[in-house]
Structure 1
Amino acid sequence: MQSPRGEPAVDTVPGLSAGPVVLAWLTQFLVGTDLFVVAPLLPHIAASFAVSVAGTGLLVTAFSVAYVVASPFAGWISDRWDRAWVLVVALVLFSAANVGTALAPGFGVLLVARVVAGLAAAGTGPTVYALVSTRARPQVRAQVLAVVGSGLLTALWVGAPAGSLLGRYVGWRAAFVILAAGTFLLAFPHAFVWRARPAPAAAAAPERSRRPGTGVAVFAVAVTTLWAFSVYSLYTFLALALHSGGRATTVPWLLVAYGIGAVVGGQVGGRCADRADPVRVTRSALALTAALEAVVALVFPLTGALAAALALFALAAYAFFPAQQRHLVDMFPERATALLSWNNSALFVGLSLAGAVGGQIVHVLGYPALLYIGAAVAVPACLVARGRPARPRGEAERP
């Protein structure tokens, strides 16, 4: 059975080969590198346009706001049109925005280019996740999502530093040219590898009246906002706190420990979600996130213990995300891209709140106090996370 767009129905998918998964991983890595590389390049950009470093921070804000606003709309379009072509158009637009970033003659044009990049990015990540999740076998859906999501996490601790080095030695404009070329080249294989393939017939979808409503969806993705605030309140100000404490030399390898923990955590969370109820995995991850964030606050003065605590915290925290994605896709298979788009928007909202509120807390109370508050926020997220509404007695569970 096929969907109205001609794509295989969720329960009839024969599975994914390595090629599409690698392609999806590379896409997430390059788009993630573009997102994370801006911060270390801000001093170079500020010097080029004679603006303050604080002023260049608008570039990050503009990208994030554009992404949050556009993501639900992009998901709505993707669920009603061919997802592969939506992804191709988004990648071409993203590449053009990076060319505009590299060639911008003034700061105003640069700001507009970053807004366009944010709009285009909103159509890439959720669409990639939806294409992968709806074609992966249900038994390994969360694991495949975790593998693809690790591209974004790898960009956090590999792609961004590499881009920073490029900015230092060949100029910040060249870094964006390279990213533009990479995303443009990726658009071509995406146009072919996701073409609909014949699939065996499957049982009819459940009646519309039995599907969870929009209120359930909003409630589900709100958990991601709380999770993101908890996680990124720790990450955003970690380097600043270490610099202020005279431990600047420890920043690179502590971030590597964090990054490795995050990548491993995503894989663990994916495997567990495929073998157990995804909501149980999200609740367990949130509970561990709260506990370990408090541990990080306690051992913050001890560098060795801090490295171990950061790795464990990241492992627990990032186990949440693939389980949450699988949970959303399982609940709303016909609206998979839209729900994953909402989820990504919720992530950016939590991240933005962590940056805005966290800075004030660090200034007034100090970094450890922010960690205790972040841990406290993860607790209600754990309590409100809930699964699929109960089924009538005797109704069979879908495979």
Structure 2
Amino acid sequence: MQKMIVLFFLVMFVIGTDTFLISPLIPTLQSMFGVPTGMAGWMIGAYTLGSAVFALIAGPLSDGWDRKKVLLSGLVCFAVSTCLCGFAANFWTMCLFRFLAGVSAAFTAPQVWAAIPTLFPPAKISKVLGVAYAGLAASQALGVPIGSLLAAGNWSHPFWAIGIFSLLLAVAVFFAVPSMKPHGQQGAKPSLLKRYVPLLTSGKARGTFLAYFFVHLGSSAAFAFLGKWMTDRFHLSIDEAGYVIIFLGLGNLLGSICSPYVIKALNPFQTMAAGMLIVIAAYIALPYVSSVYIVKGAYFFIFAILGILFPLMVGLLNSLNPAIRGTISSLATSTMNAATTFGAWMAGMLYVVFNGYAAVGVFTGICLACSLLVFISSGVLSNQAEKAEVKTEPVG
């Protein structure tokens, strides 16, 4: 069990590192490829667009397949496509390879979220989810800054490093993870549409996914041009920007570790409401900070709270219907990446039109406020949130 926990942590670590890597590299790649600021965000958006679109297919299919094989195949393709990013000759080939990496991630990351409730006893699920999410947080604390340092020598190095490490993880998955074949569905050809029906017909499910979209729309917009803002405002180099992101990731890591204890001490409603309101105020105030040291502390604080909230959101999503966790996890991934795609695009447009980061902070605050209101109105934060409300229809 411990080996699988570590392995899931590392899988999410490489996925997260690859997802967030472009942010501190935007100034370098923008200059090298000769693209305007408004277009630069699409080097992030291409990845998230591929993941968002193909996750909608990957989830229902994986509910009818052996999750181990899906995870293994996704990791291998992810490794190859990420390595190819390091050979990109221009802006459009970089977008193409990032798109392929996103498609591969769509078949990889959701298998981790769906496998945890299958492989671990109920008492350990929330903690293991927290550890897996800590892999994403650690990717910001360690993976992205390390990538920034490697990029200081050559921008291609971090892509090659991630690709090679992903291949090693694929080997570990082959030996350490057991088969996870669907119960009672062997030989059945899964119906993509029918797997989504229980979610589409539930008001609570629709509200939960909409709230999840808003929170990622706002947070991804703020993160996408963080490196650009710090370069413009504080004249930081690419490796210095990576050092700032260390504090962001450390806060996220701390929050994800503490998440189960905070939720237990309070309750889902109080945790979500208090956390969201604090983060909204912080994001709106952040662009007016004049010291890079205060920025480090502010982002540590913001992402510590987000590190508490995101595992809570994943748990709420998984509670909607235990019978189709693969579909739920992939739809959550698709929702997150669709939000990240639009968030990166909106951040670039707002940054150019309003000549700075302040408008991005306001946009983020509005998105998080919408997310909180939808979470509350959907009813998913009630005492019955842990029970599956969506009734499963026969699938296959």
- For this structure pair, what is the TM-score category when the shorter chain's length is used for normalisation? 0.7 to 0.9
Residues 303-338 of structure 1 show CA distances to partners (whole Å, capped at 9, x for unaligned) of: 466554433322222222212222222332121111
1:231 aligns to 2:224 (yes or no)? no
Is contact 2:218–2:365 with CA below 8 Å preserved after alignment? no
Cα RMSD between the aligned structures? 3.4
User: Which position in structure 2 is the counterpart of 1:90?
Assistant: 74
Larger Rg: 1
Deviation per residue, 1:120-150 (Å, 9 max, x gap): 0101111112112322221221221111111
The answer as to 2:207 corresponding to 1:219 is yes
How far off its partner does 1:109 sit?
4.3
- Pick from 365, 380, 385: which aligns with 1:387? 380
Aligned residue in 1 for 2:19: 35
Structure 2 residue 324 is the aligned partner of structure 1 residue 335 = yes
1:125-136 equivalence runs, <5 A? 125-136=109-120
> Distance between the aligned counterparts of 1:129 and 1:266, measured in 2?
15
Distance 1:58 1:231 in 2: 17
Partners of 1:349 and 1:283 in 2: CA distance = 28
Question: For residues 1-399 of structure 1, what are the structure 2 equivalents within 5 Å?
Answer: 17-42=1-26, 45=29, 51-52=34-35, 54=37, 57-104=41-88, 108-169=92-153, 171-196=154-179, 213-216=199-202, 217-246=205-234, 248=236, 254-273=244-263, 275=264, 280-281=267-268, 284-298=271-285, 300-301=288-289, 303=291, 307-362=296-351, 363-364=353-354, 366=359, 369-370=362-363, 372-387=365-380
Distance in 1 separating the partners of 2:371 and 2:138: 24
Change (3 A) 1:121 1:297: same
Check 1:240–1:223 CA distance in 2 against 1; reply closer, same or farther (3 A cut): same
In the alignment, is the contact (CA less than 8 A) between 2:45 and 2:344 conserved in 1?
no
Report if the CA contact (8 A) 1:290-1:378 is conserved.
Answer: no
How far 1:67 moved relative to its partner? 0.6
AA at the equivalent of 2:271 = S
Q: Output the amino acid matched with 1:235.
A: F
Q: TM-score, with normalisation over the residues of structure 1?
A: 0.77
Shift of 1:25: 1.0
Amino acid in structure 2 at the alignment position of 1:377: C
**Residues 286, 378 of structure 1: 8 Å contact kept:** no
Q: Distance in 2 between matches of 1:247 and 1:110?
A: 26
Q: Which amino acid aligns with 2:342?
A: L
SS in 2 for 1:80: coil
Q: How many residues align?
A: 359
Moved more, 303-312 or 153-162: 303-312
* d(CA) in 1 for partners of 2:12, 2:174: 16
* CA–CA distance in structure 2, aligned partners of residues 283 and 344 of structure 1: 25
Q: In the TM superposition, what whole-angstrom CA distance separates every residue of 1:8-60 from its partner, at most 9, and x where no partner exists?
A: xxxxxxxxx21001111111111222222234445555676x54365564332
Deviation string, structure 1 residues 281-322 (Cα, Å, up to 9, x no partner): 266224422233214534743646655443332222222221
Say if 1:164 and 1:311 are closer, same or farther in 2 by CA, change over 3 A. closer
Are 2:48 and 2:102, in contact at CA under 8 Å, matched by a contact in 1? yes
Instruction: State the distance in 2 between where 1:366 and 1:325 align.
Output: 29
Alpha-carbon contact 2:145-2:245 (below 8 Å) kept:
no
Q: Distance in 1 between matches of 2:369 and 2:319?
A: 29
Deviation at 1:220, TM superposition (A): 1.9
Residues 227 and 381, structure 1, Cα contact 8 Å, conserved in 2:
no
Distance 1:193 1:386, change over 3 A: farther
Q: Work out which structure has the larger RCO, using CA pairs closer than 8 Å and 6 or more positions apart in sequence.
A: 2
Query: 1:256, CA displacement in angstroms?
Result: 3.0
1:384 positional shift: 2.7
Q: Which runs of 5+ in 2 are unaligned?
A: 181-196, 385-396
AA of the residue aligned to 1:182: F
- Range moving further from structure 2, 17-26 or 262-271: 262-271
Q: Distance in 2 between matches of 1:57 and 1:295?
A: 23
Contact persistence 1:296–1:306 (CA under 8 A): no
CA separation of 1:231 and 1:366: change in aligned 2, threshold 3 A: closer
The structure-2 alpha-carbon separation of the partners of 1:286 and 1:371, relative to structure 1 and needing over 3 Å to count, comes to same
